[in-house]
Amino acid sequence: MRLYRFIGDFQFKVGKLEIKDKELFSQLRNVLRLKAGEKIILCDGRMNEAVAEIMIYGKDFVEIEIKEIKTNQNEPERHVILYCSILKKENFELVVQKATEVGVKEIVPLITERTVKLNIRKDRLEKIIKEASEQSGRGVVPVLAEPVEYEKALAILKNNDLNLLFDRSGENFSNLERLDNQGLIGVWIGPEGGWTVQELKSVQRSNFKIINLGKLTLRAETAAIVATHGVIHKFICH
C-alpha cells in the first residue's frame, strides 16, 4: 500500500512528535481523513525521511510516532537546471509541475525577446512544486528562482558545466553522446514564438550545445518536459 508523503521543516528522531502545522493538520484530518494507526511518510526536504504513525488528533495538532528514519533513494544524481521562458496561461505551471516530477533541481523563469507574459505568481508555483515533489517521492524541493532576462542569465552561467539550448536548428537529441559530465547542466527552452536569431547567436560564444527534439514542432511546454526528462534520465552514466 502506498503511503501519503509530506514535505516540511521536520526534525527527525525516533519517538513521538507533535505537528502544529495548520495546513498539514487540516490535510491529514479533514481532507484525507486519515485515522489514528495509519502510517504516513514525512520528508524534511534535505534527503531525510521518516515512516510515521498517526497517534491522536488534538484541537490544533496531530501527534505522530516516528517508526523509522532513512535516506531518500529517489533523487536523480544529475543536477539539471531548467531555464524556461515564461509561458502563457497555465502552460508555465504545467512545465513547473512536470519538470519537478522528472527530477530537475532548479527552475529559472526566463524573459526573452518573444516572451509575452513577464511575471509569475511565485507563491502559487512554489506550492505546485512542493506538491509535485511530494507526489513523485522526491527527497528535495526544487528551487524556483526569480524571473531573469535572457542576457542577464547568460552572464551568470560560470558555474554551469554544460548548457543545452533546444531549437529546431540544432543537432538531433538522439545523436547526443552520453553525458560524462556530472556537474551542473542547464536545459534552455524558448518561448511560444521560439528563440530569435540574436539569442541563438549569443550562445555560440558560450559553452552551449544547440539541440533539437526531432522534425516535429513541439509546443514550448512539451519541449520543456521531454528535454528535461531526456537529459536527466537518458544520458546518465552508470
The structural domains of the chain, with segments of one domain joined by +, span 5-71, 79-234
Contact by Cβ (8 Å): 98, 87: no
pLDDT tens digit sequence for 105-149: 999 999 999 999 999 999 999 999 999 999 999 999 999 999 999
Residue with cell string 533513494: 73
pLDDT tens digit sequence for 168-226: 989 888 777 666 556 889 999 999 999 999 999 988 767 789 999 988 899 999 999 99
State residue 57's pLDDT score. 95
Contact by Cβ (8 Å): 235, 179: yes
Cβ-count burial 24-61 (b if 16+ within 10 Å, e if not): bbeebeeeeebeeeebbbbbbbeebbbebebeeeeeee
pLDDT greater than 50 at residue 236: no
pLDDT greater than 50 at residue 99: yes
% pLDDT > 90, the chain: 74
Spatial separation of the C-alpha atoms in residues 107 and 143, rounded to whole Å: 6
**Mean pLDDT (the chain, rounded):** 91
Alpha helices in 21-102 (DSSP H): 22-26, 91-102
Say how many C-beta atoms besides its own lie within 10 A of residue 104's C-beta.
28
- Return the SS3 of 191: coil
CATH of domain 5-71: 2.40.240.20
CATH of domain 79-234: 3.40.1280.10
Check if 5-71 and 79-234 are the same fold: no
